[in-house]
Every structure is written in C-alpha cells, then in structure tokens.
Amino acid sequence: MAQEAQKERSMILQKEMIDGLFNDLAKAKETGKKVCYTFIPGNLSELIRTFDMLPVYPEINALQSAMRKKSAAYIKEAEKNAHSEDVCTYVKCDVGMMMKGNIGPTGLKIPEPDILLLSYTGCFTFLKWFETLKREYPNAKVIMVHTPYQENAQMTPEMTQYMVKQFKEEVIPQMEAVTGIKYDEEKLKRHLVLAKEAQDLITKIFDTTKHRPSPIDAYFAGVYYIGPINIGFRGTQEAVDYYKELYSEIQERIRLGLGPITPEGEMKEEKYRLVVEGPPNWTSFREFWKIFYDMGAVIVASSYTKVGGVYDMGWRHDSTRPLESLAEYCMNCYTNLSIPQRIDLISKCITEYSADGYVTNSIKSCNSFSAGQLGMMREIEDRLEVPVGFIESDLVDPRYFSYSNIKNRLESYFQMLEQRRIIKETEVV
Amino acid sequence: MQTLKEIVDFCKFQSFDLNFTRAKAWKEEKEGRVLVGYMPIYFPREIIHAAGGMAVGVFGGGDIKQIIKGDAYYQSYICHIPRSIMELALDKHMDHFDGFIFPSICDVIRNLSGIFKQKKIGKFVKYMDFPQNFLPQIGGVFYQQEMQHVLKYIKEINGVEVTTEALNHSIDLYNKNRQMIDFIYKIRQDFPWRLSIIDVYHIIRAGTVITVEEHNEILEQVCEHIKNDIGVRQDKIKIVISGAFCEQPAMGLIKAIEDAGCYVVDDDYMLGSRMILGDVDATSTNPLEAISNAYIKQSQYSSSIYDIDNPKEYRLAKIVKDRGANGVIFASASFCDPSLLDAPIFQNAFNKMGIRYIAFQYSENINQYKVIKEQVGAFADSIKLWDDEPVLAL
C-alpha cells in the first residue's frame, strides 16, 4: 500500500490556495468573473489580477491529470482527432480533457475562457496550442504577447519597448474590453510590490540548498514550492504568507540538521548532490523521485523551477516601472534564455550549490527544453569536469516512462559518482 | 538560350552542392563580399544583397550527407534538420560563411542558434525574431530593428553602409525573382506536364545558393521554355503539398509523389522564396519599412506565423480552389512541431469543407518511398474513381 505523504503547514496552505482557485473557477459564471487561460512561462499574474480575472493554466491541468493517472486517456482522445504522437503531450492532454468535458483535476468543471492570453514566451508550441483552442472556443478573445528571445543574453531597450507597446496598445485595451474594468496602474503596482516580496522569499528558499545536508529537494519538492508563484498567486498576500511559512519551516529543518522531506519521510543520508535540467516526468512522479532518494541523491538546483521566472540572478518585479517590469519578467523566464545563458546559469548552480553531478531529464515532447540539451551537457562537462547523466522520459504520456531503463541508467550514474568519490578520497589521503 | 535540360541539370547540381562552391567563388571574386547562411523558412534576402552580401539557403544535408557528429547533438525524437546542419558546420562545409541567420520558426531552430553561438561558428549568429504582432507601429518597428541588427553585423565585416537606393534595387531584383516563380506555378497550374515538380524544385532551390541576378536569368529562360506546349499530359490528379516547409523531403520522395499519380500544382517546399505574395514596394524612402510591411500584410500563411486573424485552413482551402486541385497531401517532417501541431486544425476543417487529403511523415534522409508511394497512389486512384462522391465529415 502506498505510504501517506507527510504534510507540513505550508503544504496545507498551498492545497487550500489551489482548491480555492478551482472552486472560484467552478463558480465563475455565477460570480461573473472573467476567465483567462494563459501559460506559466511569461505568466502575467499581476495584470490578470488587476483586471480581477481568474487564471487557468493548461500545463498545470495537464500535469495534475498525469499525477492522477488520467492523462493517458486524454492523450488517446486527442490522437484520435489527428493529433500526432510526436508533439507536446501537454497540448494533447489539455485537448483531450476538453473533449471529455473539461473536468479539471479537482473534479470540478473548468469554465470556458473569456480570454486566451497567449504569452508567447520561450515555447513555440504555446502559439500552436492557443491557435488550436481558439478553434474550439470561438467566442474567446485571443490576446497575443510576443516575448522577444534573449538571443544575445540581454534584454535590450528595444525588446522591452516592443513588449510595452504591446501591453499598452493591444493587451490592456483588450482586457478592458472583455472585463469591462478600467486599467488601474496603482492596483498593478500594489501587486508588483507583493510579487517582489514573494520572489525574494523563493530565492532565499532555493538558496538553502547550500547547507549540508540540503534541507529541501529543489526539483521534486521544488515543483511544489513554485506552485503558488507560478499559478496565479504571485502578486498576492496569500503567496507571501505561504512563502514566509515555507521559509520558516525550512529554517527549522536547517536548525535541526535535517535533510529533505520525501513522500516516505525524511531523507536520512545525503550521499549525492545533483543539479537537474529539464522538467520531471509527471505520470510516475513518485517512482521517479524514489529512485533518487533511495540512492541518497538530493537535487540542490534545477532549471525547471526557473521556468516561470529566473530570480536567482537578482531580477525582480519593480513597481516603479510596472509595464517595463512585466516585459522583463517575460523575457527572463528560463526557456526564453539562450543556450549559452542556460549553460552559464546551470554552471553557476553546480558551483554555488557544490553539486557532485549534473543530470538531464530529456523530455521527448518538449523541444523548448530538449533541443540543445546534449550540447549543453558536453559544454558543462568540459567546463566543470562534473559527471553528467542523461535519462529520457516524457511530461504526461505514460507510454514514454520506462521505469527500468531510467533506474538502470541512474544506478550506473550513481556508481560512477561513487567511484569518483572513492578516487577523490584516495587522492586526498 | 540554354536548353531546359541544361538549365535543370545546372540547378540540380547547385541545389545539392553541399560545399556551396558557387557562393564561395562569388565571394572570392571581390573583396568585401560576405556570405550569410540562413535557415528555413523565410529571410528577407534583399537586405544582405543591398549590403554587398549573398544570403545562402542552408536546408540541411538531405539524403546526401551522412550524419555522424550531428547525432551527438540531438536526441532521436528531434527532427533531422538540426543534426544535418550541425554535421555540415562541423565538417567545415560552411567555413567560408561569415554569419548565420536562424529565423524564428520553432524551438529547435531557435536553440540551434544557441549551439552555433556556443561553438562560435561564424563571425556572427543571429536569431531573427520575426514579429508575431502585426501592427506596423509595433511588430513592424520591431522587425525593422531586427533587420538593422543584421545590417550592423555585416557592416562590421565589410564596412558597407546600406543606402536607400541599394535596398530598393535589391527589392526590385527579388520582386522580379518572385514574379517569375509565380509565373512558373501559374503555368504548372494548367499545364503541370510541361515541367515536373522535381525540376521546379531544383530550379527554385538553386536560387537560394546563387546570386539573385544569375537566378533571374535562369528563371527568364525557364519561363520562356514553358510558355511552349512541351511535355506529355498524363492521367494524374492535381494536389497541393502542405507542411514540408522546413526540413526538405528527399528528392526521391518529391519525385515519387508525382510518379504515383499526382501533379503537384502548389507546395510549400521552398516557402521562403515565395513567402511574400506580390511585390515589395521598391520605391520607398524607407525600404526596411517596405519589407516589414510586406511581411506583415502580404505573407503566405505559415505554421510559424500566428494566424488568429487570418486562419490558415481557409487560406489553404483557397489555394486548393484557385489551383483547381483535387486534394491536399500533408507532408510533415517527423517530429516537426509547427507542421504536426497544425495537422488537426487543417484536417478538422477540411473534413467539414469536404476537401480530400492524406497525411504522412518523412525525414530528409528517407530512402524508402514504397509505402508512401502506395498511399499516394491509392489517394490518386480514389479521387479519380470517386471524385463525385461527397466527402463525409468525420
């Protein structure tokens, strides 16, 4: 029988926040709230809040469906309707869920969108995704926000201005028209102040992995920690309160010298410290995590937790430059970074968090992450002489999670790390 | 005037000269000339021309180049073209190129630009972020800035400051180029037996690796040849190919489709050379704005362009109607996100509109066409036999 996961207060808080959001969504028609579908990278939570809209994140629905073992049926439904086996499984899971009545992960129906806010940030598939949804929801207003790519590892004034012009001339007027609410910049600024506070806190939280043992797992638990900041609560007091609580729990763990909490309780021994690139597999999330914690491997940093915003290089929302700040936020999400920037960021994590190794979980249906990962691995291996590992799985399609393959590969990788450790210790002696 | 066969043979050779020798020779003829490789789909070649350079199409190694090193950079579930472009780069086929342009078409090509940057291939690497906002004062201005970046890179190499006159001259040359390509397709619409699709393909693709001046001379001659009643009409249906705009099908596959009973009366194989519909204003005092306006207002539909205000399914349906085609073949490169993600949109719409279609996937190095040929043959036969039968919406 599966063991009941341990729950801390922050986990309960998060559950309440998410349940509340889905309840509000289910009642959106009654309350008259407008519903805005959008994506995690480049999510304009503060602007959505300024117009009192409720956000829906199709990626989150897809991953939640996968964790509840529902994604296979949804994907099958989409594939029956001409969707290729070889494309993003988030899209197919979402389309399949819609075809089956759009019942969300909590069992409540998700309302149709009033706005499809196409934050085209770091992922080309987003564009195709909402083109597809527009055909299914002809009454929804699609609002495109084109986020320029950081091709030269910088956000130039031209890029920022391009985005600000889009906000001023396209996004905001269209949001005003749909919601009937006038744009209130002071309200946006208040949300941005709270957003910054949450960003400061989450940065401190992920920085705690510098401790030995690391009090948290920055990948498997990290995906829960980024929940509130990424799924519509950034810019709210609730998110700030959640992160304060979480930070205080982690501080207590540090004080007690405890390692991360896993679904089977506390991790007893930290043998390996790793940095992971790429999203996790959601269909077998617990089994996947277990392979790591059974081997005493803790993830001290991951690129995936930066997909909704990169805060560890110091960037924050700035309420004195509200629209410019929204633009910079979008441009600064992980998958909108160039490959050399990604390499530098991961290298920094490996060095600063004293990682023993670097593992890539390459996702079959996510080119935004996967294309270029092998080149990144080679560069990081050359630059830092750190052992690299490589596994393959998928986001929400259970057909592409091969437990034994992944386990075999990781066991070999851990043996290599062990061997390396022995050699190092011998050299010291 | 050369014979049509001589022209086609020349173009065939140029299209698949993976050492780009003609471009290299052109560069060496005169100091200050630059070569800029560009990836699919579209790039405004006019601006490179005006800056004393030549934009050279890099469409992968096809079924000619064996991939060894490139496979070390890309997982098996990523399309073939990035690995073959890497192979070309690592095997020094493009060492004489000064820079590389990666147009914003998908995540794979975008990230490939980063790998080129990381490996410092070329004097410059530019990810060309085409606007997805189609207001001239927003997306148009951004696009002009993107073109200015390219011109700045070239100026750093050859010192050429582009003038309005030079840009308008280049625009004029490429307008003529597109006009003649359009003429070829118009002739083929009614008389597809005069020039096979594989010959058309070679003629257009050659234009991406030689100068526009030379290509225009070739096109003029081709247009003259096909005005005559040449070739033998065969009992084939007319179809439009859609979805093959980036990684190119192997030549054998392009030929196999026609051999299996389909005259291809329109396609998106070399979409970049035909992307702008009609002329770009060649008399503007702001030619970059003219190029930008043409892209924003006169582009062909593409899987890489946000289409909400101008849905692609209706645009493809119009092409089918205008060309008098009997159906559509959706040919997508394996793992090509833009093409494959568009498939349900097209196919669901065509089911309702009663437009017949089939779909298959290919890879640039595929060399077994039997299954696809049988599929295409059966499609052609079904249309010939039952064209009057209504297509049921699924």
Sign of CA dihedral B68, B71, B76, B80: negative
- pLDDT value, residue B153: 98
| CA distance between the termini of chain B | 53
Counted residue by residue, chain A has a size of 429
Give the ipTM: 0.95
* Interface residue A361 vs chain B (CB under 8 A): no
Query: pLDDT by residue (tens digit) across A238-283?
Result: 999 999 999 999 999 999 999 999 999 999 899 999 999 999 999 9
The two tokens of residue B334 are: 């394996």
Q: Which residue of A has its CA nearest to B69?
A: A375
Total domains present in chain A: 1
Query: pLDDT by residue (tens digit) across A134-152?
Result: 999 999 999 999 999 999 9
The two tokens of residue A221 are: 């638990």
Report helix, strand or coil for B228: coil
Is the residue at A123 inside a domain?
yes
Nearest-Cα distance to chain B for A411, in Å, is 21
Sign of CA dihedral A290, A294, A297, A298: positive
- pLDDT class for A1, splitting at 50, 70, 90? very low
Q: Which amino acid is at A277?
A: E
Is the residue at A253 inside a domain?
no
The answer to whether B106 contacts A372, with C-beta atoms less than 8 Å apart, is no
Which residues in chain A are contacts of B334 at CB distance < 8 A?
86
Assign domain B15-158 to its CATH architecture: 3-Layer(aba) Sandwich (3.40)
Q: Along the 394 residues of chain B, how does pLDDT read in single tens digits?
A: 899 999 999 999 999 999 999 999 999 999 999 999 999 999 999 999 999 999 999 999 999 999 999 999 999 999 999 999 999 999 999 999 999 999 999 999 999 999 999 999 999 999 999 999 999 999 999 999 999 999 999 999 999 999 999 999 999 999 999 999 999 999 999 999 999 999 999 999 999 999 999 999 999 999 999 999 999 999 999 999 999 999 999 999 999 999 999 999 999 999 999 999 999 999 999 999 999 999 999 999 999 999 888 999 999 999 999 999 999 999 999 999 999 999 999 999 999 999 999 999 999 998 888 999 999 999 999 999 887 655 543 3
Is the residue at A329 inside a domain?
no
Which residues in chain B are contacts of A362 at CB distance < 8 A?
75
Q: Are B18 and B89 in contact (CB under 8 A)?
A: no
* Interface residue B70 vs chain A (CB under 8 A): no
Cis (ω within 30 of 0) for the bond into A261? Answer: no
- pLDDT class for A3, splitting at 50, 70, 90? low
Q: φ and ψ at A182, to 5 degrees?
A: -80, 140
Is the residue at A216 inside a domain?
no
- pLDDT value, residue B388: 65
Is the residue at A219 inside a domain?
no
Query: pLDDT by residue (tens digit) across A161-212?
Result: 999 999 999 999 999 999 999 999 999 999 999 999 999 999 999 999 999 9
CATH number of domain containing A68: 3.40.50.11890
For residues B225 and B1, give the distance between their C-alpha atoms in angstroms, rounded to a whole number. Answer: 10
Residue A59 reports pLDDT greater than 70:
yes
Sign of CA dihedral A330, A332, A333, A339: positive
Q: Domain of A146?
A: 9-179
Among B99, B130, B125, B123, which residue's Cα sits nearest to residue B112?
B125
Query: pLDDT by residue (tens digit) across A72-126?
Result: 999 999 999 999 999 999 999 999 999 999 998 788 899 999 999 999 999 999 9
What is the residue extent of each domain of chain B?
Answer: 15-158
Q: Between residues 124 and 183 of chain B, which touch chain A (CB distance below 8 Å)?
A: 126-127, 129, 131-133, 135, 137-139, 141-142, 145
Among A338, A359, A330, which residue's Cα sits nearest to residue A46?
A330
Nearest-Cα distance to chain B for A295, in Å, is 27
Q: Between residues 134 and 163 of chain A, which touch chain B (CB distance below 8 Å)?
A: 134-135, 142, 144, 146, 148-149, 151, 158, 162
Question: Under 8 Å CB-to-CB from B273, ≥6 apart: which residues?
Answer: B177, B178, B181, B204, B207, B208
Q: Which amino acid is at A14?
A: Q
Q: Are B350 and B313 in contact (CB under 8 A)?
A: yes
Q: Are A307 and A334 in contact (CB under 8 A)?
A: yes
Q: Which residue of B has its CA nearest to A400?
A: B77
Q: Which residue of A has its CA nearest to B109?
A: A371
For residues B269 and B275, give the distance between their C-alpha atoms in angstroms, rounded to a whole number. Answer: 11
For residues A158 and B150, give the distance between their C-alpha atoms in angstroms, rounded to a whole number. Answer: 15
